[in-house]
Structure 1
Amino acid sequence: MASSPLRLIKPSNHTRSISLPSRPSPLTVGVEQQLQRLRSSQEASASSQCHKLNGLRDLYDYVDDFLQLPNTQKALSQLRSEECVNKMLDRSLRVLDVCNTSRDVLLEMKKSVQDLLSSIRRKRGGESGLADDVKEYMICQKKLNKTVQKCVEDLKKNENEHASFSLLEEDPNVVAIVGSLREVNAITNSIFKSLLSSISQPRKNSWPLISKLMNKRKVASHNENTECFNDVEKADAALLNLMSSKSCKDTQNVLKHLEALDSSIRGLTEGLDCVFRSSIKTRVSLLNILNC
C-alpha cells in the first residue's frame, strides 16, 4: 500500500531531509541547511543559547524569502484544508507569544540581578541586610520559574500535537511545504525549551542551604568545585559561598558571576528581539498568502 502523504509532515525527533518542491532554488536549500545547522547545535552541549537564537533568526529570514517565491505562494494559495491553514497561523502566533514571554522573563531577571549587584557593591546592612537582598532575589527567581515552567509545558503540548487534518487531496508540493514549515516550528519549540530551561530551576543543592542560613541555621561551606552548568547556576553557587564566608574574595566572585549573568541576559534579550522581528515578517507573509 502506498504511503500516505501525511507521513511527509509527521513530526520526528530524528534528523531527516525535507523534500521541498522539485528543482530547489538556493532559498529552499538555505532553509534545509539552516535547519540542519540548528539540529546540530541542539545536539552540541557547548553551543550557546545566543548562538542558537542567531541561527533561528537566520532560519526565519530564509523562510520568509522562501515564502516570497512565486511557486511557494501559488502552492500555498491552493491549500484546500481550512484546518491546516488555521494550524499554521496558530503556530506562527505561538512563536510570537513565546518570544514575548521569554523576553518579559529575561527583563525581570535582569532587574533582579542588577538590584542584587547594586546592593552587594554598596555592602549595605551587614549579614542581615545581605540575607534580605538575597531573599528578594530568590523570591523573584521562584516567581519567574513558575512562568517559565508553564511556558515550557505549553511548548511540550505543542510538540505533542499531531495533525488531525487530511492532506490526501493536496498537491505533493503543498504537502512538502507544509511539512517544511512544521519542521521549522518543531526546531523553534526545541530551541525555546532549551533557552527557558537554561534560565530557570535554581540549583537544588544551593538554594535550600541559603534559606537555612537566612533562618539563622548553621550551614557548611559550599564546595566551589561543585559542577555548574550555566550562568544562573554559577551565580547561585557563588552566592552560597558568599553567604557562608563573607570574605572579600567571595564578594568579588559573586560580582563576577552576577555581571556574567547580566551580560548573558542582555545577549539573550537581543537575540529574542531579532527572532521576534523575523518571525513577525514570516507570519505577515503567511497571512498575505493564506488569506488572499
Structure 2
Amino acid sequence: MAFHTRSNSFPSRPHPIAQQVGELLCRLRSSEATSTSSSSISHKLNGLQDLQDCVDRLLQLPLNQQALAQEQNEKYTNELLDGSIRLLDVCAIAKDAVLQTKECILDLQSIIRRTRGGESGTLTSEVNKYLSSRKILNRAIQKALKNLKGIKNRSTLSSLNKDQETIDIVIKLRDVETVTIMVLESVLSFISGPKSKPSSWSLVSKMMHLKKVACNEETEVNEFAEVDATLKTSKFHPQNQLQNLESCIQDHEERLEGLFRQLIKTRVSFLNILNH
C-alpha cells in the first residue's frame, strides 16, 4: 500500500505533443546565435512553421481547452489571442515586403535586359523607384518591430489556476510566442538589411565591405543589402545579384505564406477556446 501511495506522487508524464513543442522551442532558441544568412532564415521559418503546427495540435487537446477556457484563466488566454493577432499582422508585413521587392526586381531585370545594362532615363527612373520602395518598406518594418516589442509585456501568473498542468501550458504558450517574436525579428531585420552606418561611410566602402563579407564568410551575405548598396553606387547594374535576390525572395515568400496560414489556424484555435 505504501508503494502505491508513493507512486501516485510522481508527476504525470507530459503529452507527446507538449514534448515535441519543447524540443522545437529548444532548436529555435539555439538558432538565435547562428548566422543571419538567407539559408539560416529559411531554416528558422521552417522550424517556426513546425512549432506553430504543434501548438495548434496542443490547443486541440480537451484538457488544455478546458484549462484555458476557465474563467480565472481567460485573461491569459485573451493575452495569447492578442499576441497571435499581432504576430499575424507582422507576418503579413513581411510577406508584403518580399512580394513588393520581388515585383520591383522583376521590373528592373526586364529594363536591364532591354537596355543591355546601358544607362537610360527609364532605367535610372526604375532604380530610383526601387530604392524609394525600399525606404517605404523599411519604415513599415521598423514600425512592425516596435509592435513586436509591445507583445512582450505580460501580466504575472498570480491569478492563474494553481493546477500545475495549467501553469505549464500557459508558460509553454508564452515561450512559443517569445520564440516566434525572435524569428520574425530576424526575418524583418534581414529584409530591411543592416542598419545604416554613419554618413562618412561611403557607398564605395559599403560595396567593399559586402565583397569582403562574401569572400570571407559567404553564409553571412544579405542579398537585400547587396542589391541596395550596388544600386546606390550607380556604377553598374547587378544582374547576378538581382537573380540571387529573386531566388532568395521566392524561397522566403513560400515559407512566410506557410507560416501565415499556420498562424491563422492558431488564432482560430484560441477563438474557439474563448467561445467554447
For 2:138, which of 132, 145, 150 is the aligned residue? Answer: 145
CA distance in 2, matches of 1:97, 1:222: 34
More deviation, 178-187/41-50: 41-50
Q: Does 1:272 align with 2:264?
A: no
> Which amino acid is the alignment partner of residue 34 of structure 1?
L
CA distance in 2, matches of 1:83, 1:71: 18
CA distance in 2, matches of 1:178, 1:102: 27
Q: Which runs of 5+ in 1 are unaligned?
A: 1-20, 211-218
Cα deviations across residues 61-89 of structure 1 (Å, max 9, x unaligned)? 11111122222223223351332232121
1:210-249 matched pairs, under 5 angstroms: 222-223=207-208, 225-227=211-213, 229-239=221-231, 243-244=234-235, 246=236
1:114-153 matched pairs, under 5 angstroms: 114-123=106-115, 126-129=118-121, 130-153=123-146
More deviation, 275-284/27-36: 275-284
**Closer, same or farther: CA 276–135 of 1 in aligned 2, 3 Å:** same
For 1:111, which of 85, 103, 109 is the aligned residue? Answer: 103
Contact 2:112 2:118 in 1 (8 A): no
More deviation, 82-91/219-228: 219-228
For 2:189, which of 186, 197, 202 is the aligned residue? Answer: 197
CA distance in 2, matches of 1:156, 1:232: 24
Cα deviations across residues 118-158 of structure 1 (Å, max 9, x unaligned)? 11111279435233322111111111111111001111222
More deviation, 50-59/227-236: 227-236
CA distance in 2, matches of 1:79, 1:34: 30
Cα deviations across residues 156-177 of structure 1 (Å, max 9, x unaligned)? 2222x13156335442221211
Contact 1:203 1:236 in 2 (8 A): no
Contact 2:56 2:266 in 1 (8 A): yes
**Closer, same or farther: CA 202–286 of 1 in aligned 2, 3 Å:** closer
The two structures have a TM-score, normalised by structure 2, of 0.82
**Closer, same or farther: CA 89–74 of 1 in aligned 2, 3 Å:** same
Other structure's SS at 1:81 match:
helix
Question: Which residue of structure 2 lines up, in the alignment, with residue 43 of structure 1?
Answer: 33
CA distance in 1, matches of 2:185, 2:254: 18
> Which amino acid is the alignment partner of residue 102 of structure 1?
A
Q: Does 1:100 align with 2:86?
A: no
Q: Which runs of 5+ in 2 are unaligned?
A: 1-10, 215-220
Aligned length in residues: 255
**Closer, same or farther: CA 288–203 of 1 in aligned 2, 3 Å:** closer
Question: Which residue of structure 2 lines up, in the alignment, with residue 3 of structure 1?
Answer: none
CA distance in 2, matches of 1:60, 1:53: 10
Q: Does 1:261 align with 2:245?
A: yes
Question: Which residue of structure 2 lines up, in the alignment, with residue 18 of structure 1?
Answer: none
Other structure's SS at 2:119 match:
helix
Question: Which residue of structure 1 lines up, in the alignment, with residue 158 of structure 2?
Answer: 166
**Closer, same or farther: CA 165–136 of 1 in aligned 2, 3 Å:** same
TM-fit CA distance, 1:194:
0.6
> Which amino acid is the alignment partner of residue 175 of structure 2?
E
CA distance in 2, matches of 1:31, 1:85: 18
The two structures have a TM-score, normalised by structure 1, of 0.78
CA distance in 1, matches of 2:158, 2:15: 28
TM-fit CA distance, 1:102:
1.4
TM-fit CA distance, 1:98:
1.2
TM-fit CA distance, 1:206:
11
More deviation, 192-201/279-288: 279-288
1:14-93 matched pairs, under 5 angstroms: 22-45=12-35, 48-93=40-85
Contact 1:81 1:166 in 2 (8 A): no
Point out the structure with the larger helix share.
Answer: 2
CA distance in 2, matches of 1:89, 1:221: 42
What is the identity percentage for the equivalent residue pairs of Structure 1 and Structure 2? 42
For 1:156, which of 149, 153, 167 is the aligned residue? Answer: 149
Supply the RMSD in Å over aligned alpha carbons: 2.8
